[in-house]
Amino acid sequence: MIDVQDGYFRLAGRETAMVLHVNESGRLEMVHYGGPVALSDAPFLRFHPLLTYGTELEDDQGNFPDHETLAWSGLGRGDFREPPLEVHFSDSAFTNEFLYDSHEILEGTCPMKGLPSGRGEGAQSLVIHMKEAARPLDLDLVFTLFPDEDVIGRRVRLINRGEEPVVLDKVMSTMMDLPGRDYGLLNLTGTWNREAHPVFRKLDVGRTVQASLTGASSNRVNPAFALYEKGTGEDRGRVYGFNLIYSGNHYASVEESPHHFYRVQAGINPEGFSWTLRAGETFESPQAVMTTTDRGFGGMSDHFHRFINKRIIPEAWQDRDRPIAINSWEAMGPRVSEGSLLKLAKEGRDLGMELLVLDDGWFQGRESDTAGLGDYSEDAKKLPGGLDRLARKVRDLGMDFGLWVEPESVNPDSDLYRAHPDYAIQSPDRTPILGRHQLLLDLTRTEVQDYIVDQVNGLLDRLPISYIKWDMNRHMADFFSPTCPAGELAHRYILSLYRILDRIFGTHPQVLLEMCSSGGNRFDLGMLVYAPQIWASDDTDPVERLTIQKGLSYFYPQSTISCHVSAAPHSQTLRQTPLPTRFNVAAMGVLGYELDLGRLSPVDKKAIQAQTAFYKDHRSLLQRGTFHRRDDLPDHQEGFAILSPDRREGVVLMAQRHLDHAGPAYDRLKVSQIDPDLSYMVRSRPQKCQLARFGHLLNYVLPPYLKGDSLPVAIAGRHMALDEGEFEGRMTGRALHEGIFLPDQFKGSGYDKKLRLWGDYGAQLYTIQALPEGEGEVEGESNDNE
């Protein structure tokens, strides 16, 4: 709820509260953001210095701007911390100070024109109207409370009430000052094939910045970040989480002042940004979202996951299971044909997959990534019956049909570019710089928007397509467009992209859209408003994916993370990993497969059939359950748990991310979030170890005339494998809180089907199911681990 009293505003969720205050000078103070407090507490939570000292400046009300904890600040009026707004007026003045004028409380949200935001059922909005102290420029601070998720949205509106234009050089979506708690910073950094790696660092006096200049939210640093107090873990400690519902160049900074306040702000990257706001015009920033909790990183993730699943994901895909895909790319690259695709679809269907995705290579001239992009007519040699016949045959096989497109880019070697070189973003006085042999189309041009909409809508209208993979494989450069000043191009590009997506998928809500940008180059809340899932990385090595998926999980639910099982050795790392590990890690998100199914051995095909059956049995839980990370494991291991909201069932992953060691230590399965008062059945998911993993050890058990590397043994290994890691036991939730011992790992000799034959990069899934009352732990029952 939002309530107001004596110049104080309180936005209260279930576990949190934000308190604002209009001070004597008219500036808006951030009095409190944290646990629930009463409005009557507000005066005692407010920091209000009595005297200035040294070189500090004092205003005419006896206040000291540089000492205040503010929710918005100006430039050139005594606050020497980083300002959230930089504006040039027509006379070149740049000082700005916005003071309180009025406020209003609205039910729901305040929709924006052209920008996505969180949906507002059950939400409330506080709009604080502020005016520039000396200029005809108004500022609206829009706070939206999503109470059930304990998330607050923040954005700004700037309205030019004057007759002269003003130039905006920087507009942040949010700014707040927090009292010092010796904070650390968590953010997600990386590059192509190594996205979303979590980085934890200690903050000190000065400014720490994370930003993107690629034209996208970027694989270099994700828009999401968090502040955490010293000693924070998964289930303990105060955390503040922030994100931005935006898909373009972003900026965030945390500045610790000499007085040990922390100023946090986020919004559009001001580098390369300049926006002319003419008389009577309004500029709206993207919506930033934030949450806080004293329940550690797990509590922050819980808030954001619930918010995204309820407020961000398209309504047509809320609480809806996602299909298991087989994607053609790693199976055949661009060398596709109707016959090979139908063969892949039939093999996929027989193994339990539900959706064939035809990736790159299907249109005319597309033999590699050097040509054809922009021309979306089918290659008649590859698809003599066109997409129509292929899609119909795939559907006749009982599979859904999906298609890869890259509508934002064009190859210079294409019919579209030869006809319309002006459609591409390029500087008229420079040779264009290429990325993957392609240029970006200038989406700010209405004729380009119409071309893309017509091409994609044409496919969706005539074909039985249930899924689109929308790719974008280069960064933005050569900032020039005849439609707008260069400083507006990057932002207008994103606004145009949102407009295109609205026009296409607003009329095709039944189509499952998956976003991709060279992997996770555009994994952000803005994209998730249109696409329920995003391709997290082109790296499908499960060891690498453990880090990538863990990083994303801090801020994004597993329902948004597209994860595929691929062939090993992996083309991204040349690492050999067991098939069970590849599935076990991919099952922690939206499962798919990306490999040549025809090359699989009979034993691997049987294993994949069991994998897809298991995933379907637990799909709703795996895709939309509550996600937890373990923080008590050694460095070489990783553990995730996905639990139902009532904590009666769950699936737990235990994985080894490093090379195995001789004589491995004992391992414990621990789920601290389970209900301690219930009794549970815990079982390992059945999996098998390939005979080839034993190498020459097979010589000790085979007849003398057979060797472990002989052809007969290799043939036998294609048809049989050894059971491993079998486990079943009934126990109380208290035992799972403490951690139960798992069966031994292989230690150099012997075999038992309960032995965990993990070796290098092994992993296993365990199911947890609450027992009906009266079927609890049996006295004397053991887990047979002795």
Catalytic, out of 359, 400, 471, 539: 471
Cβ-based neighbours of 87, under 8 Å, separated by 6 or more: 94, 96, 137, 158, 166, 167, 168, 169
- Which pair of tokens denotes residue 733? 């939730």
User: Cβ distance 118 to 97 under 8 Å?
Assistant: no
Catalytic, out of 79, 359, 538, 604: 538
Q: Is 502 designated active site?
A: no
How far CA 700 is from CA of 139, 694, 708, 724, 755, in Å, comes to 79, 11, 9, 19, 18
| Main-chain dihedrals φ then ψ at residue 753, nearest 5 degrees | -65, -15
Distance between CA atoms of residues 786 and 775, nearest Å: 24
- Which pair of tokens denotes residue 129? 């109207």
Q: Is 538 designated active site?
A: yes
Residue whose pair of structure tokens reads 């937890």 in the numeric block: 628
User: Cβ distance 307 to 555 under 8 Å?
Assistant: no
Distance between CA atoms of residues 354 and 619, nearest Å: 13
Distance between CA atoms of residues 294 and 782, nearest Å: 37
Q: Is omega for the bond preceding 569 within 30 degrees of 0, making it cis?
A: yes
Burial of 569: CB neighbours in 10 Å, binned 0-12, 13-18, 19+: exposed
Q: What is the CA 565 to chain-centroid distance, rounded?
A: 19
H helices within 463-523, ranges in order?
486-505
How far CA 161 is from CA of 126, 127, 130, 131, 207, in Å, comes to 22, 18, 12, 10, 34
User: Cβ distance 416 to 468 under 8 Å?
Assistant: no
Distance between CA atoms of residues 243 and 555, nearest Å: 8
DSSP for 141-204 reads EEEEEEGGGTEEEEEEEEEE-SSS-EEEEEEEEEEEEEE----EEEEEEEETTEEEEEEEEE--
385-392 contact pairs (CB < 8 A, 24+): 385/338, 387/358, 387/362, 387/459, 387/463, 388/462, 388/463, 389/338, 390/338, 390/341, 390/342, 390/358, 391/463, 391/464, 391/465, 392/464
What residues are annotated to the active site? 471, 538
